[in-house]
Structures are given as C-alpha cells and as structure tokens.
Amino acid sequence: AAPSAAGSAAPSAPALPPAANPAAGVPPELLNQFNALDCSNSTQRIDYQSDPAKPAVACSYDKEQGLWNKFALGPVAVNGADVSKANAGYDTQNGAGWEVQLTFNGKGSSAFASTTGQLAALPQPQNQFAIVLDGKVVSHPYVQQSITGGNAVISGSFTQSDASNLANVLSFGALPLSFNQSDMTTVTPQLGGDQLHAGLLAGAIGLALVIAYSLIYYRGLGLVSIAGLVVSSILTYTIMTLLGTGIGFALNLPAVCGAIVAIGITADSFIVYFERIRDEVREGAQLRPAVQRAWPRARRTILVSDFVSFLCAVVLYICSVGKVQGFAFTLGLTTLLDVVVIFLFTKPMITLLARRKFFSDGHPWSGLDPKRLGARPPVRGGRRRPATSAAVKEA
C-alpha cells in the first residue's frame, strides 16, 4: 500500500468538496510526471514504481464512471507481505454490504497505524492510500483516523465479486511467483498433420492385425473380440468428444499412441477370458458351465492387469506435462473402458453365445472345438474327471 498524494476521490467515498490544492506536498519532478501521464493511453499504463522506496505515478480504472484516474504515490508504506490475512465478508450488523477485512503482522500493524495516522490529518483526496498491484491502483480508500490494533476493514459500494477480488489481491498479490517453461513444441501445420496421419495409420494397421489374429486363432470367438473393440472405440470417441473442450484435450500424436496401446490392453482382456474358457473345455467341461467357471479367474486377472495400467496412467498424467499428458489421459480412459466393456458386454455376450448350438456343440469354426483343443472325454454322469485321477490312470 502506498499513500496517495493526489488524484480523484474514491468511488466508495461520500461526496466531499475537493481539496484547495491537491498537489500540495508533491515533489516537482513527480508532479511533472503526474501531469504528463495520460492513463487513457495504454502505452503509458506501465509500472512506474520500480523502486518501492521512491515516489511514483500510477493509473486506476473507475468501472462506475468508465474513466481512468491517475495518482501520485509516495513510497511504499506497507508491503503486501505484511498482510497476514484478507477476507471478503458481508456486514450483517450495520448493513453496510460487502467489505474486506484485513489482518496485519507485527511489522505491518505498526506501519499501517503510522501511515493511516498521517493520512487522516490530510484533506480530501490526499487522505487516501492506494493498494497497488503490478503498477496499477486496484483500490484507493480514504481514512479518517489512525487504524491501530493490526485489523482494518475496507468498506464501500462493493459487490461480492469486487470484495473477493480485492481480498485475493491483498492475500496473494505479494507472493513471489516465478514461471518455468515446462514444454514447448513448434511444428508447421503440414508436419503436425503428417505426424497425426502417420499415427492414425499405425493405429489402423495395429487394429487390423489384432482383428486378423482374433479371427485366425479364435475363429468364431474372434467376432466377440472384434465387437468388443468396436464398442470400446465408440465409447472412447464419444467421451473424448464430450470432455475434450472442457479439459483441453486434443487428439495429437501422443494421444493416438495411447489409443494404440489401449488396443493391446483391450485385446489382452479378451484373450485372458477366452483362454480360461478353453482350459475348462480341455478339461472336459461343457461350454455353458465352462463359461461360468472360467469367469471368476479371468475377472481377477483382468482387474489386476487393468489396475496396474490405470495406476501407471495416473502417475504419468500427474508427473508429466504437455503432450505426454494426452498419452496418459487416453491410456487411463481406455483402461477404464476396458473394464466396462469386458463386464457389461463381453461376459454377457459369451453367456448368450454359449447357448447357441454352433458354439455349445463345438463347431470347428467356433473356436471351441474339443477335438482341436485336445479335450479329455467327460466321465459318466456328466461330471468332469479330476486332473489328479486322470494323471494316476495314465501312469
């Protein structure tokens, strides 16, 4: 806060007659600078107070009147770091509306008491003190008496937003801030488009290879995995479209890489479940009970695997910056969707297909042919022969 030596009256102050000589006590050099300052010119609205120990001029915009005011300020009397606390509150006792409540530390308390005592003896508008941030006056209340005790209240025609903004300026305006450039990539539009197209092409090739492998190795079951990949892709695209603008997500090359990795994660979940079912069939179980018995073990494995992938995505998103976060976001989102698809689509679909004769009878093109899988013949009564008994008999 710096004492205001000259300037227009505060918007929150009552109408008072101006002082006979508001420039009294202003050094001639500062007065010349004050007279030459044109706050309506944006090129002149700069931070003139490079040295807090010296007087300076500053500008302030009056929203109510739509005018720029200019001030001749003395040296900084109370540093913002000496403000311990600043809150916006509503005066319910006197009905004065919104106000800003200040608390100073020991150094700030004595400096503020001394400054307000000096200002209170001056005529209007010299009895104002200016709250300055980055060379601009954000508020300039007047004082009528010395304010002691380390607490003060700034009141006036504040709205809740005005009071909160001023409290934030007083609370955080003096904090030392520094910015480090964490990520910057500059590419031409053509190069960026070529990279994105290359990533999408690589994803399409990877998806085609997964589909081909599923159909060749799992045959009829491969159709289930393909349908699951389609459902997962639709959900991923829909969520990215809905959330993209809100969270600043863009489909760039790292995000495409995350989607390509997700294809493998989703396909892996299908493989785990399919292999559990085929293991049950190899042991001589019928398809429907094999589907039910395979699910608990497959579910446990899928959840553990997806949890590890999701945890890695979260850590990478938190610890990284820039485009790497796009990769982590896509990986985490598709991992979550893999759980949704495997539980709400794949498992019910397999259960329904197990009732179809094509799959339940082990058609050669179903992917569950007992002969092709080398299944053991079931024992009488339809119960599966225990593996230990089979091993003894074979011995």
Rounded Cα–Cα distance for residues 120 and 267 (Å): 77
- Per-residue pLDDT in tens (0 to 9) along the chain, 395 residues: 444 333 332 333 322 333 335 556 678 888 888 888 888 888 888 887 778 888 888 888 888 778 888 888 888 888 888 888 888 888 878 777 888 888 888 888 898 888 888 888 888 878 888 888 877 888 888 888 888 888 888 888 888 888 888 888 887 765 555 556 555 555 555 545 566 677 667 777 877 888 888 888 888 888 888 888 888 888 877 877 777 665 556 666 666 677 777 777 788 888 888 889 888 888 888 888 888 999 998 999 999 988 998 998 889 888 876 667 777 888 888 889 889 999 999 899 888 888 888 888 878 888 787 788 776 665 544 444 444 443 334 33
pLDDT of residue 300: 92
pLDDT of residue 25: 67
Task: Yes or no: say if 1 and 77 are a contact pair by the CB < 8 Å rule.
Answer: yes
Which of these, 261, 80, 82, lies nearest to 166 by C-alpha position? 80
pLDDT of residue 307: 92
Rounded Cα–Cα distance for residues 7 and 16 (Å): 14
Angle 366-368-369 from CA coordinates, rounded to 5°: 95
All CATH 1.20.1640.10 domain ranges of the chain, comma separated, are: 189-389
Pick the CATH number of 189-389 from 1.10.8.60, 2.60.40.1180, 1.10.510.10, 1.20.1640.10: 1.20.1640.10
Burial zone of 355 (CB within 10 Å; 0-12 exposed, 13-18 middle, 19+ buried): exposed
Pick the CATH number of 2-172 from 3.30.1360, 1.20.1530, 1.10.150, 2.60.120: 3.30.1360
All CATH 3.30.1360 domain ranges of the chain, comma separated, are: 2-172
Rounded Cα–Cα distance for residues 113 and 149 (Å): 8
Which of these, 68, 63, 9, 64, lies nearest to 37 by C-alpha position? 68
Q: Which two tokens stand for residue 230?
A: 């389609």
pLDDT of residue 311: 92
Name every residue whose Cβ is closer than 8 Å to that of residue 23 and which is 6 or more positions away in sequence: 5, 6, 31, 34, 72
Q: Is the peptide bond before 348 cis (omega within 30 degrees of 0)?
A: no
pLDDT of residue 15: 28
Rounded Cα–Cα distance for residues 95 and 90 (Å): 8
Rounded Cα–Cα distance for residues 339 and 269 (Å): 9
Q: How far is CA 305 from the centre of its chain?
A: 26
Ramachandran sector of residue 248 (left: φ over 0; alpha: ψ -120 to 50; beta: rest): left
